[in-house]
């Protein structure tokens, strides 16, 4: 490839071409359905490498993708025939226990982040699976167990160092480039490459957390109970309800909980949901925050084929629950599940206009998680997920959270933000990326 030797000489990290050792492993991402072949994979070791690879792509008018944790469901981290700017090796996290803040490089994941912050007994809201990148998750909002107490991941962002499409490094914060800072908190990777995220941390752990398994025969009553329980619980409780299939093939309601306040109070708070009916298993117990953060990955193995859709729902009415349970009864693949992720607390308390994130006051995010192994099942499982989303529409309260969406065209994306916020995002996009260099994302078209 023309210019590749100059790029290699200019980088500390590797620039891999098809056929090079590590190329195939380098283009793999979480979703096993995605099989794209970049012209070059730039494995960046630092900001200088990111600058050089962006310049290489832009001067040659090559498509480019930016990869952090590689968890994007549509596979936005990897491109065909262009430059894959891979930040995965930029994963240092520096904690300042005095100011209770952390600076994390733009390629870190939540496992790395929690590992460093928990050494000081600190944490901030992050995703439920360790290998999910801080980049994609924070830039679109960021749900996690701590959100009802401390807000979304993006609500804890103090500032970000951003490499813009023109090759300029800028800082975005409440006082510098504040409109960019507003857009970065919800608008995704549209505005530049964030090389460093600066987060506010909080004292967290040990927590009362773990898994509670309820028989599927109880699903209707359990979800009905969960609807009001999850919303009226103190903000210290992060909780989800899933309809899932256990390893022995039986279906169940699976709750995951994380209470981040005093443990004895947590016992009282969680007692009603643990005692409503006889559980299949109750593994809720005191544990380090890092332990609760390493449970979900057992249900989400890497490399599976993935197709997800979500709806926001304000109330799990009898009809909504019947729709969920009847649809789940016909699930076509054992790893495929439905998750009800409950919001409220600090997520809803942050004023809507503060960030680009929309629909903060939604009570539940209900996600159809299609996950399966055999490509022969693609049509069957994707149809089941689409049917889930269609059947839930009558109960939907608002648009959607872009990070759980398998695909969304520009028209649909407007509904993820609402017309007013979308137009404000377009204005920021025109200022920082008028030629849409960063378009492999839930794209705001300039």
Ligand X SMILES: Cc1cc2nc3c(=O)[nH]c(=O)nc-3n(C[C@H](O)[C@H](O)[C@H](O)COP(=O)(O)OP(=O)(O)OC[C@H]3O[C@@H](n4cnc5c(N)ncnc54)[C@H](O)[C@@H]3O)c2cc1C
163 DSSP β-pair partners? 169, 193
- Least distance in Å: CB of 442 to ligand X? 7
* Axis crossing angle, helix 219-232 with helix 263-275, rounded to the nearest 10: 150
Nearer to ligand X, 26 or 70 (CB): 70
- Least distance in Å: CB of 23 to ligand X? 18
Say how far apart CA 236 and CA 333 lie, in whole Å.
Answer: 34
Q: Which residues contact 179 (CB under 8 A, 6 or more apart)?
A: 427, 428, 431
How many other CB atoms are found less than 10 A from the CB of residue 16?
Answer: 23
- Least distance in Å: CB of 322 to ligand X? 27
Helix-then-strand count for the chain, H and E: 15, 19
Peptide bond into 206 cis (omega under 30): yes
Q: How far is CA 259 from the centre of its chain?
A: 20
Q: Which residues contact 358 (CB under 8 A, 6 or more apart)?
A: 186, 352, 398, 399, 416, 417, 418, 421
- Least distance in Å: CB of 270 to ligand X? 20
Burial classification of residue 41, based on how many CB atoms lie within 10 Å of its CB (0-12 exposed, 13-18 middle, 19 or more buried): buried
Q: Are 129 and 152 in contact (CB under 8 A)?
A: no
How many other CB atoms are found less than 10 A from the CB of residue 222?
Answer: 26
Nearer to ligand X, 225 or 341 (CB): 341
* Axis crossing angle, helix 318-329 with helix 378-392, rounded to the nearest 10: 170
Nearer to ligand X, 117 or 132 (CB): 132
Nearer to ligand X, 42 or 325 (CB): 42
- Least distance in Å: CB of 198 to ligand X? 13
- Least distance in Å: CB of 368 to ligand X? 13
Nearer to ligand X, 142 or 151 (CB): 142
Strand order in the sheet with 101-105: 93-96, 101-105, 193-200, 157-163, 169-173
Nearer to ligand X, 137 or 321 (CB): 137
Contact residues: ligand X, CB under 6 A: 30, 66-73, 76-77, 87, 106, 127-129, 132-133, 135-137, 139, 142-144, 188-189, 193-194, 300, 403-404, 440-441
Say how far apart CA 125 and CA 147 lie, in whole Å.
Answer: 6
Task: Tell me how far apart the 2 most distant CA atoms of the chain are, in Å.
Answer: 66
- Least distance in Å: CB of 275 to ligand X? 27
- Least distance in Å: CB of 394 to ligand X? 25
Nearer to ligand X, 105 or 325 (CB): 105
Nearer to ligand X, 181 or 225 (CB): 181
- Least distance in Å: CB of 189 to ligand X? 3
Nearer to ligand X, 165 or 320 (CB): 165
């Amino acid at each position: 490839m023309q210019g590749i030797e100059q790029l290699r000489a200019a980088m500390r990290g590797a620039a891999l071409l098809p056929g090079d050792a590590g190329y195939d492993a380098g283009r793999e991402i979480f979703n096993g359905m995605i099989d794209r072949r970049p012209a070059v994979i730039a494995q960046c070791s630092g900001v200088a490498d990111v600058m050089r690879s962006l310049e290489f792509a832009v001067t040659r008018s090559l498509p480019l993708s930016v990869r952090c944790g590689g968890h994007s469901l549509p596979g936005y981290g990897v491109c065909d025939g262009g430059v894959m700017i891979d930040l995965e090796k930029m994963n240092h996290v520096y904690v300042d226990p005095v100011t209770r803040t952390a600076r994390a490089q733009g390629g870190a994941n939540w496992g790395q982040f929690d590992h460093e912050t928990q050494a000081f007994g600190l944490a901030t809201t992050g995703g439920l699976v360790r290998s999910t990148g801080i980049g994609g998750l924070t830039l679109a909002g960021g749900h996690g167990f701590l959100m009802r107490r401390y807000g979304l991941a993006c609500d804890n962002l103090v500032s970000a160092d951003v490499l813009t499409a023109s090759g300029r490094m800028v800082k975005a914060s409440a006082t510098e480039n504040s409109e960019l800072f507003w857009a970065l908190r919800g608008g995704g990777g549209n505005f530049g490459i964030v090389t460093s995220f600066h987060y506010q941390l909080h004292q967290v752990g040990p927590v009362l957390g773990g898994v509670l398994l309820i028989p599927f025969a109880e699903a209707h009553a359990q979800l009905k109970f969960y609807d009001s329980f999850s919303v009226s619980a103190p903000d210290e409780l992060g909780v989800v309800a899933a309809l899932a299939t256990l390893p022995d093939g039986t279906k169940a309601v699976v709750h995951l909980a994380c209470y981040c306040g005093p443990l004895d109070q947590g016992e009282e708070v969680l007692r009603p949901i643990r005692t409503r009916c006889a559980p299949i298993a109750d593994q809720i117990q005191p544990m380090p925050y890092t332990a609760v953060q390493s449970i979900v990955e057992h249900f989400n193995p890497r490399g599976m084929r993935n197709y997800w859709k979500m709806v926001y729902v304000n109330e799990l009415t009898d009809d909504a629950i019947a729709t969920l349970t009847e649809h789940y009864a016909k699930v076509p693949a054992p790893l495929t599940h439905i998750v009800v992720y409950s919001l409220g607390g600090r997520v809803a308390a942050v004023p809507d206009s503060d960030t680009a994130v929309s629909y903060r006051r939604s009570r539940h995010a209900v996600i159809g998680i299609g996950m399966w192994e055999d490509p022969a099942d693609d049509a069957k499982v994707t149809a089941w997920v689409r049917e889930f989303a269609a059947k839930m529409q009558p109960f939907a309260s608002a648009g959607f959270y872009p990070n759980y969406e398998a695909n969304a065209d520009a028209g649909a994306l407007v509904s993820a933000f609402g017309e007013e916020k979308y137009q404000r995002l377009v204005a920021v996009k025109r200022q920082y990326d008028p030629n849409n260099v960063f378009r492999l994302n839930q794209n705001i078209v300039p």
